[in-house]
Amino acid sequence: MSKQELDKAKHYIRDLVSGSLFLAESKTVAQSLLLDCSEVDWVQLITQDNVLRKKSPNTAIRYARTIKRRLLPLGTPFSEAVIDAADPLYTQLLMLALLIYTPVVADFMNHVVAETKRVYKPNLAADAWGIFLLDRIRTLSGLSQLSEATLQKTGTNVIRALVEAGYLDNNKSRRLQPVYLLPETKSWLQQLNREDLEPIMKCTL
C-alpha cells in the first residue's frame, strides 16, 4: 500500500472523525476568522479564552480547527453569511461546507441516500454505511488501511450530519425527510462553482 493511496483515503474522509456539522460552534469560529489575528492569538482565543465553552482545551481546538479548515477556503463572504444566517439557511451553509471539504459525505448522499429514494424505501438501511464502505474500498484501497474505529466514527458522523441537516429524522429509524434548498443556498452553490452539489443536497420524496 503506497503512501499516496493512504493519503487519498485520508483526504476522502478528512476531519469527519472530529464531528459532524458543529451547529453550536460554527458561528463563533466564523466570527473568530474575521478578526484576522495571528495563529498564536487565535489559538489563545479558542483554548485560553474558551470562546467555544468546552471543558477541554484540546477538544476546543480540535473542533475549531476542523471548522476553520471547512470555512476558510470558501472565503470571508461565506463566513459572514454563516454568522448572519438563521435556520434553515445556517444548517444548509454548514452542510454545503462539509460536502465541499469532505468528499465522502457527498458520495454517500449521491449513491446511498439517492438510491434509497429511487427504490422508494422510507428508511436508510442500518447497514448502509458498511455496504457503502465495502464498495468504496474497491476503488479507494487506502481506506482498508485506516483503523476500524476511524471508519466507524466517520460513518457515525455522516449519519449525524444527515440528521442535523434534516435528511433523516433521527439516528435510529433513519427515515428519509424532504429537504428543499433555499434560494440563498443555491446562490452560494453558483458563487462557489459547485452547482454539481445541488441535486445531491436537494431531497424531494
pLDDT at 205: 66
pLDDT at 119: 81
Q: Which three cell numbers stand for residue 112?
A: 446511498
User: What are the angstrom distances between the C-alpha of 101 and each of 38, 80, 174?
Assistant: 23, 18, 24
Higher pLDDT, 169 or 119: 169
CB atoms within 10 A of CB 118: 8
Q: pLDDT digits over 62-108, tens only?
A: 999 999 999 999 999 999 999 999 999 999 999 999 999 999 999 99
pTM across the whole model: 0.94
pLDDT at 204: 75
Q: What is the CA radius of gyration of the chain?
A: 17
pLDDT(1) > 70: no
pLDDT at 157: 96
Q: Which residues is 168 bridged to in the sheet?
A: 176
pLDDT(140) > 60: yes
Supply the mean pLDDT for the chain: 93
- 156 touches 20 (CB < 8 A): no
Q: pLDDT digits over 18-67, tens only?
A: 999 999 999 999 999 999 789 999 999 999 998 999 999 999 999 999 99
Percent of the chain at pLDDT > 70 equals: 99
The verdict on domain 3-201 having CATH code 3.90.550.10 is: no
Percent of the chain at pLDDT > 90 equals: 80
Per-domain residue ranges of the chain: 3-201
pLDDT band at 115; cut points 50, 70, 90? confident
